[in-house]
Every structure is written in C-alpha cells, then in structure tokens.
Structure 1
Amino acid sequence: MLQFKSIELKDREIINSHLAKQNYRASDLCFTNLYCWGKKFDTQFAVTDDWLFIRFKDNNKRNSYLKPIGTGDIKEGIGIIQDDHTQFDTVFQIRGLTREMIDEIEA
C-alpha cells in the first residue's frame, strides 16, 4: 500500500523533481496549484520506485488519482494506484487525462 501524505511547502523540491520528468505543462500538474488546492481536495502524494502518485477527493468526496508520473512502464504505475484504491469503496478513476495520456496508457 502506498504511503500518501498531504502536500506541504517542504515537499516542493521532491514533487517538482518528478513533475519535471513529464511533458504535460498544464496547471493541474504544477506544485503551486497542487499545494494551494490541497486542503479543499485533500490532495496527497506518494513517491515510490521512481514514481510520483497524486491522490485527491473530487467534488463528490470520491478518491481520484492523477496519471502516475515516472520513467517506467505506465501500466506498472496504473497497477500500483489500482492496488492502492482497493481500500476505498468507490469507483477507481484517474482525472485530468489528455488524449495523449490516454493513448500512452492504452498502448
């Protein structure tokens, strides 16, 4: 099980080091926005095996994830968050996916 924790200012460097590994530059994958919206959406992160995982609650208080960020096989990253999600009694969902992200996951 992943060890998620709330995002704090002191986590900026570790989170940004992972965010820099991907090409998606929209504001939902920006440390400042993740931090600022953290309390409203209970945004949390976990780092393991060179992956950054971000979990939050949507407007209906259901747990959601952003696409895993890492240099490994994306299917491995998806599997890790699917395993993490088994602790919740809600539908597994990844939010904020672009067409390119979906294509990468489905490849």
Structure 2
Amino acid sequence: MSQDASRIAVVHESYSFACMRCGHGWEQSYAIEHHTDAGGREFVRYVAEGRVVPSPLSRPACANCDGHLVRIMRPGRVSSARDASRARRPGHHWQLSHLLHPFQRRAG
C-alpha cells in the first residue's frame, strides 16, 4: 500500500433541509472524508453520526414523509426559523413559510 492510499483528508460541513412536501425541517452535520485508493483514484465518503451515508447533495429524503422534494440550505436556517417562531408565540411550532421567507420574491 502506498503512502497516498492511507492518507485521508476530512472536511466538516453542515446543512439545513426543508421538505417542500410536508414542511419538515432538519439540520445535519457531516464529516466528509476524501480518500485516495491504492490505484490513485480519489473517492469521498460522507459520515453522519458515526455512519457512512449517501451524499446529502445527491437525493436527500425527508425522514418524516420520505419525500424527495427537499431544499438544501446553509446551516442554521432551521434552528433560526424555530427560534423566531418561539419568540413570537411560545409553544407554537415553526412553519415552512418561516424557513422559506428569504426565498420568496417581493411583488413590486
């Protein structure tokens, strides 16, 4: 085995997700492992909560309804929507409209 075959570079990334079908929102952090095999070919593994998972950018599925119409956003979008909703109405659940508000176009 060559020295390059054992070298692993790890990058940590987080994403926010919103299901456009049922409105479920969630966040997930990933360790993205960049590997080089013995033949010099590069490949990537995504690891979430200690398990190898498919790339979240390929075809994310909603854990609530199994829908695949999922918007991927920068980290913190779901938690900030939940926090804003709680500040307005304690005990009120956040809604998809709170999360997607920045993406809506203004009528002009």
Flag whether TM exceeds 0.5 (same fold): no
The two structures have a TM-score, normalised by structure 1, of 0.29
Larger Rg, first or second structure (1 or 2): 2
Greater RCO structure (CA 8 Å; 6+ sep): 2
Higher helix share: 1
The two structures have a TM-score, normalised by structure 2, of 0.29
